[in-house]
Chain A
Amino acid sequence: MNCFAGIDIGSTAIKIALIDEDKNVIASRVTSTGSHFRKNSVDALHGLLAENGLGIDDLAYMISTGYGRKLLKEADESVSEITANAIGALEAGRKYGEIRTIINIGGQDTKAIQIDSSGTVTNFAMNDKCAAGTGKFLDVTARNLEIELEELGDYHFNLKTAPLPINSTCVVFAESEIIGLLADGHGKEEIVAGIHYSIAKRTIRLAKRIGLDGLVYFDGGPALNKGLVASMEDELGKKLVIPEFPQLTTALGASVLACEAYLDELEIA
């Protein structure tokens, strides 16, 4: 059986999507990146194939994307995560309507992407080297508050008062700001909600640089955090489209591109 893989080697997690020729998702996996980008990627891919009764020979075409994209020599080619994200959002977002804007928050990047009806990127904005307001920031916050990353959403909705204004979205400065707020006797709920609103404000400001047309699709690991999603919607003034598996959009996009590249090659041959 011919299958196509998109493998998104991010700063925090490796995401793999396997699809068939009709672009149906056969299997997917999210695993931690660790420090051995290439080895962990290859292991995860082999594991996923084996679990689904597939071998490496079934893999007709593979495209890598994400930070570690160039390291994976096993891939047929690589694309930037912005292009892959656009195609993935178009594919996964189809059932919600026509997606024109994508907001992605990753482990160390924030991106806003504008696409046309074919999924072609027409404009994009991305943070500079600073990882302020990204997944890394949520990670540090949870650790400082001694709660699990998955609990951030619950804390957000348990808040009975107004969220605290958090001024800093810098990972380093926010850490000391949070410690200061805890020392002042503020509750975790107030702080968590405050953090979500401060990320939302920063992210929407970035996205406004490219305009916020049509349906806005929000993906990346932090889109799993319902508290953050609610804050983003408040800040934006409209509903966001949250896909079923927010972490996998970019990997899915890469797998769709892999399938198309394979079909193009067949045509040429």
Chain B
Amino acid sequence: MDNELQAEKKSVPFNRTHQAIEAERMLRRIKDDFSDNPDAMDYFYDLYEQVYCKGESLHKEEKVVGTMCVQVPEELIYAAGGVPVRLCNGFYTDDQVGAEFMPAKSCSLVKATLGMLDKGSTLPFVDKVENIILPATCDQKRKAGAMISEMGYEVYDMEVPPVKESEEARLYWRRSVHNFAVSLKKITGKKITKANLKDALAKVAAAQKAYRTLHVLRKESPSIFLGKDAFMVTNAYFFDKIENWTAAVNRLNAELEQRKEKKITAAQRRAPRILFTGSPAIFPNLKLPVLIEESGGVIVADETCSSNRMLYDMVAVDEYNTENMVASIADNYLKPCTCPIFTRNDDRKRKLLNMAKDFAVDGVVYQSFSGCQVYQMEHSSIAKALQAEGIPMLFVESDYSPDDMGQLSTRIEAFIESLKAKRRRKR
């Protein structure tokens, strides 16, 4: 970074930067526009304030390894002594900067990530990142990888097969994960051993266990926990210290259990229950989840790579030897993944239909970022599958800019109202 830019940046206190202002606005909305938030959520609200509004770094001593996708096996990074930090970004400010790198109609998430990493931008939650792991998933992320290299970062391209069902794909991906495990030594300076890998697996499994408990608590009807807070919890997993995160989720679960006993609900008894899917909601771009809940709906389940998909499936190990553990990790990151980059995606349909049933869902909201072709292309087949089961779906194409709030709120409210009317008719 040249000195002039750095000097200019320092002259602006972090809380006056566009990122901090954007973060502050969304944080206020999430905290203050809703009454009776669980006390245990304060940990998460404070965490966002600390990293995004005050610009404090969470990882000072550790070797931070940036990841650009849910597809990077974090157990391996922990085993090699690193801390994985997910860089997928939700800031409109960074999206505008990143727009210079990409064609006009491209994914906001990719643009915002590029914008955040660009020279002169402020990187939240860490002092610096040198190494970035980029799975070769969608076209836009792959091409962004090359641009990020040019910015001076050390980018590791991790190959991903385009199909996930075949034996060839499994072997190909296993080899890719194996190579990554070996290469990590060069990044962190520490070799992966049987002992540290077993520890890493336990650490991530503990987090997943806490998440699953929370996930199941959301089946309650009337709902005891709002989706906007669920997104804040899972999103914090991107950057928080994993042990702290797990402990905070466990505290939240304990409080929700108490609320369940005392019948303290988070939404009205007849509030339409929504399943959220599609392009990931990442802070501060939580405008759609927040709008849904401001309009009287409640998000009881989600299927995105910033939430459920990131934490739901645990690694199943047969034998605790290094080779077997790495292979098991590889399998866990390929088979259950329902990302639309894969050629066929009947798995995603099946998963959504199951979730809709398990969580007694009234309707599905499908978000697709403008320019995210794979989610756009998959939407009509998902809509048909849901329609066949009598589940209405609202497809929303949006991006990070706040200027479609008027139209979005009309559409969301109309959808919620139609779900209510449908329910009344059933009675």
Contacts and interface: CB of A to CB of B under 8 A. Distances in A.
Contacts of A127: 407
Interface string B385-398: 00000001000011
B410 A129 contact: no
Contacts of A262: none
A121 interface: yes
A128 B418 contact: no
Contact of A81 (B370, B410, B422): B410
B417 interface: yes
B29 to A, nearest CB: 14
A79 B398 contact: no
A124 B407 CA distance: 13
Nearest to B370: A128
A120 B403 contact: no
Contacts of B413: 79-80, 82-83
Interface in A83-128: 83, 109, 118, 120-124, 126-128
A82 B414 contact: yes
A72 to B, nearest CB: 15
Contact of A80 (B370, B392, B410): B410
A67 interface: yes
A83 B404 contact: no
A80 B407 contact: no
A126 B411 contact: yes
A120 B397 contact: no
B195 interface: no
| A interface, size bucket | 10 to 19
A118 B418 CA distance: 12
A230 B381 CA distance: 35
Contacts of A124: 411, 414, 418
Contacts of A118: 425
A118 B406 CA distance: 27
Contacts of A122: 418
B404 A82 contact: no
Given A118-B425, A120-B425, A126 B410 contact: yes
A80 B417 contact: yes
A158 B411 CA distance: 39
Contacts of A67: 406, 410
B421 interface: yes
Contacts of B403: 129
A67 B410 CA distance: 8
A219 to B, nearest CB: 16
Interface string A202-242: 00000000000000000000000000000000000000000
Given A83-B418, A121-B417, A128 B398 contact: yes
A254 B375 CA distance: 36
A118 to B, nearest CB: 7
A128 B404 contact: yes
Nearest to A109: B407
Interface in A124-179: 124, 126-129
Contacts of A82: 410-411, 413-414, 417-418
A121 B424 CA distance: 13
Contacts of B421: 83, 120-121
Nearest to A123: B392
Contacts of A80: 409-411, 413-414, 417
A124 B418 CA distance: 10
A123 B409 CA distance: 16
B270 to A, nearest CB: 15
Nearest to A85: B414
Contact of A83 (B370, B417, B422): B417
A108 B407 CA distance: 9
B414 A129 contact: no
B397 to A, nearest CB: 6
Interface in B76-111: none
Contact of A129 (B407, B417, B422, B425): B407
Contacts of A109: 407, 410
From A67, A83, A126, A127, residue with most partner B Cβ within 10 Å: A83
Nearest to A67: B406
A80 B410 CA distance: 6
B397 A128 contact: yes
B407 A120 contact: no
Given A79-B413, A83-B414, A121-B414, 16 more contacts: A67-B406, A79-B417, A80-B413, A80-B414, A82-B410, A82-B413, A83-B417, A118-B425, A121-B417, A124-B414, A124-B418, A126-B407, A126-B411, A128-B370, A129-B401, A129-B404
Closest 10 CB pairs of A and B: A82-B414, A129-B404, A80-B413, A80-B414, A121-B418, A120-B421, A83-B417, A80-B410, A126-B411, A129-B407
29 contacts: A67-B410, A79-B413, A79-B417, A80-B409, A80-B410, A80-B411, A80-B413, A80-B417, A81-B410, A81-B414, A82-B410, A82-B413, A82-B414, A82-B417, A82-B418, A83-B413, A83-B414, A83-B418, A83-B421, A109-B410, A118-B425, A122-B418, A123-B392, A124-B411, A124-B414, A124-B418, A126-B407, A128-B370, A128-B404
